[in-house]
């Protein structure tokens, strides 16, 4: 290290000590930087001071020469000790490496070992230099090439100093460490060439794209019929750059990773490959109106970023994979119009972000999962035309964000929960062709956005709630084929938007309310097969 202390003839401000008063005087004059002429007395004094300074300088020079001589003697002793240790290490190395060559002299063995070590070190340096040159184009660390050789030389110099100290202090006991130190220096330098995080990310990104490309090609391989030639551009030329982001139905993000596969109404026939699960960045898979058959791959449950899975109008068979319940980002699941069987997996209740669940037109059995209320963000719930049975679970009352509820054409039974009147967002309620019983909840009159209320072909009893007259947006009210009794409430005359009113095949009594004549939008009125009396208004 360089000496950072000030020289003996310079003060801390960089001024010569013997001329300090001239610096002070020059600072006060600001015009003349040269010292004023000296008088004879001052000259004599200065001369005597100069002679004394010369004598002192000669004495210091003699002392310094003696110190340098002593240091040279110590260095020569150290070099002799190092040479003896080096010869002993060479002898030990030769004995271990070639025990059969006993006639070889120790000096010859030492020379060959030193030459071999130098050759290996030169090879290592050449490899490091080539690595530096290859890495010089890396955009992440433009400074690396400029400083690596300097850093490496500093490391090697420090290592060699430590080695010499170890040899001098402990004789031959540090032979192994001294042999390894040059190698350690090389390893330290090589470590400085480790790939930058951005470069590593680029390699990882390329690997992801390659995996996704293979998954898309596996999807195409599973298609046995493509009548419209939709996948004709799903090709990779030999030696060419893949352009899968430009393929029909494929969308990618800015990094070239697949985010969407949408192939609607293309007539594709085949099976769905489980390798789609390798497209980890997939957010939407929409295969609406095709002819895919076979099971839904459970591996799709590994698509952690999937938000929409739409497989409606196909020929999928088997059960709904419970693994789909692991899709934490899933918002829309539409498996309708297939041939799926089995129960609705309760694991689907884990998809807390889901707002739409479409399972209609399948062969599903069992009950609605008791945990259905955990889907508190659910807005659309459709299971019509299946073979579901049982009552609505108590947790159903927590689905307060529902807008569309369609459980028609099943074997569901039991009463409707009175809490349904708190579903203020309800727009469509269709529960027809089930075995629901009990009274129609009066709270439905508070669902001001309700436009369709179709609950015909059930076993509802009691009176038609007069609160239904508060539904100003109601367009269709179908209550026929139940066991309703009592009179038709006159409040229905306030449903100004009503187009269809069907109350037939019940046990209604009394006369037809004249207020029904105020329904200017009414187009269909069905009251037959009841116990009505009186005249027609």
Q: 82-95 b/e with 16+ CB inside 10 Å = b?
A: eeebbeebbbebbe
Q: Are strands 531-532 and 507-510 parallel, antiparallel or unpaired?
A: parallel
Pick the CATH number of 280-291+302-532 from 3.80.10.10, 3.40.605.10, 3.10.129.10, 3.40.50.2300: 3.80.10.10
pTM: 0.64
Following CA atoms 204, 207, 209, 213 in sequence, which dihedral angle do they give, to the nearest 10 degrees?
-170
Q: Which of 456, 536, 462 is nearest to 500 (CA)?
A: 456
Are 279 and 303 spatial neighbours (Cβ–Cβ below 8 Å)? yes
Are 317 and 292 spatial neighbours (Cβ–Cβ below 8 Å)? no
Q: How far is CA 219 from CA 10, 257, 299, 310, 418, in A?
A: 82, 16, 14, 16, 48
Phi, psi of 341 (to 5 degrees): -130, 180
Domain spans of the chain, in order of start: 114-198, 205-279, 280-291+302-532
Same-fold call for 205-279 versus 280-291+302-532 = yes
Residue range 205-279 in CATH 3.80.10.10: yes
pLDDT tens, position by position, for the chain (537 residues)?
433 333 334 444 443 333 333 334 333 434 444 434 444 444 444 445 555 555 666 666 666 666 666 666 666 565 565 555 545 544 444 444 444 444 444 444 444 544 554 454 455 444 434 433 333 332 332 322 333 333 344 444 544 554 455 445 444 444 444 444 444 444 444 443 444 444 444 445 568 889 999 999 999 999 999 999 999 999 988 766 778 999 999 999 999 999 999 999 999 999 999 999 999 999 999 999 999 999 999 999 999 999 999 999 999 999 999 999 999 999 999 999 999 999 999 999 999 999 999 999 999 999 999 999 999 999 999 999 999 999 999 999 999 999 999 999 999 999 999 999 999 999 999 999 999 999 999 999 999 999 999 999 999 999 999 999 999 999 999 999 999 999 999 999 999 999 999 999 999 999 999 999 999 999 999 999 999 999 999
């Amino acid at each position: 290290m360089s000496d950072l202390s000030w020289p003996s003839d310079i003060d801390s401000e960089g001024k010569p000590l013997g001329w300090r008063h001239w610096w002070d005087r020059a600072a006060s004059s600001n015009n003349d930087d040269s010292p004023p002429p000296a008088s004879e007395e001052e000259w004599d004094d200065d001369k005597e001071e100069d002679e004394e300074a010369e004598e002192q300088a000669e004495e210091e020079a003699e002392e310094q020469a003696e110190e340098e001589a002593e240091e040279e003697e110590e260095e020569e002793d150290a070099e002799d000790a190092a040479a003896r240790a080096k010869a002993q290490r060479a002898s030990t190395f030769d004995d271990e490496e070639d025990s059969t060559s006993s006639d070889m002299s120790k000096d010859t063995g030492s020379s060959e070992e030193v030459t071999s070590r130098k050759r290996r070190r030169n090879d290592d340096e050449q490899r490091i230099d080539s690595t530096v040159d290859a890495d010089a184009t890396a955009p992440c660390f433009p400074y690396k090439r400029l400083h690596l050789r300097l850093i490496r030389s500093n490391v090697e110099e420090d290592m060699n100093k430590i080695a010499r100290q170890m040899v001098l202090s402990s004789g031959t006991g540090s032979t192994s460490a001294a042999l390894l130190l040059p190698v350690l220096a090389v390893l330290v330098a090589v470590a400085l060439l480790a790939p930058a995080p951005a470069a590593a990310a680029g390699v990882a990104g390329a690997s992801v794209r390659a995996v996704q490309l293979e998954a898309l090609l596996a999807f195409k391989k599973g298609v046995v019929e493509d009548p419209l030639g939709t996948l004709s551009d799903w090709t990779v030329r030999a030696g060419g750059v893949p352009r899968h982001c430009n393929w029909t139905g494929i969308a990618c993000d800015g990094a070239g990773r697949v985010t969407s596969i949408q192939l609607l109404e293309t007539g594709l026939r085949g099976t769905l490959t489980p390798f789609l699960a390798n497209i980890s960045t997939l957010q939407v898979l929409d295969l609406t109106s095709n002819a895919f058959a076979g099971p839904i791959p459970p591996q799709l449950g590994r698509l952690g970023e999937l938000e929409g899975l739409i497989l409606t109008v196909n020929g999928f068979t088997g059960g709904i994979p419970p693994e789909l319940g692991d899709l934490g980002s899933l918002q829309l699941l539409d498996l309708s119009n297939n041939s799926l069987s089995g129960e609705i997996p309760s694991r689907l209740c884990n998809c807390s972000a889901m707002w739409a669940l479409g399972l209609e037109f399948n062969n599903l059995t069992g009950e609605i999962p008791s945990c259905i209320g955990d889907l508190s963000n659910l807005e659309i719930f459709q299971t019509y035309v299946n073979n579901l049975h049982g009552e609505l679970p108590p947790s159903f009352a927590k689905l307060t964000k529902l807008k569309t509820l369609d459980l028609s054409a099943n074997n569901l039974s039991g009463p409707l929960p009175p809490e349904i009147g708190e579903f203020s967002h309800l727009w469509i309620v269709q529960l027809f062709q089930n075995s629901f019983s009990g009274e129609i909840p009066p709270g439905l009159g508070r669902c001001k956005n309700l436009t369709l209320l179709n609950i015909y072909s059930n076993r509802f009893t009691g009176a038609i709630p007069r609160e239904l007259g508060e539904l100003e947006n109601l367009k269709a009210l179908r209550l026929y084929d139940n066991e309703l009794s009592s009179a038709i409430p006159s409040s229905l005359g306030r449903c100004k938007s009503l187009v269809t009113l069907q109350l037939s095949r019940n046990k209604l009594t009394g006369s037809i309310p004249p207020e029904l004549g105020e329904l200017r939008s009414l187009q269909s009125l069905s009251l037959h097969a009841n116990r009505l009396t009186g005249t027609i208004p």
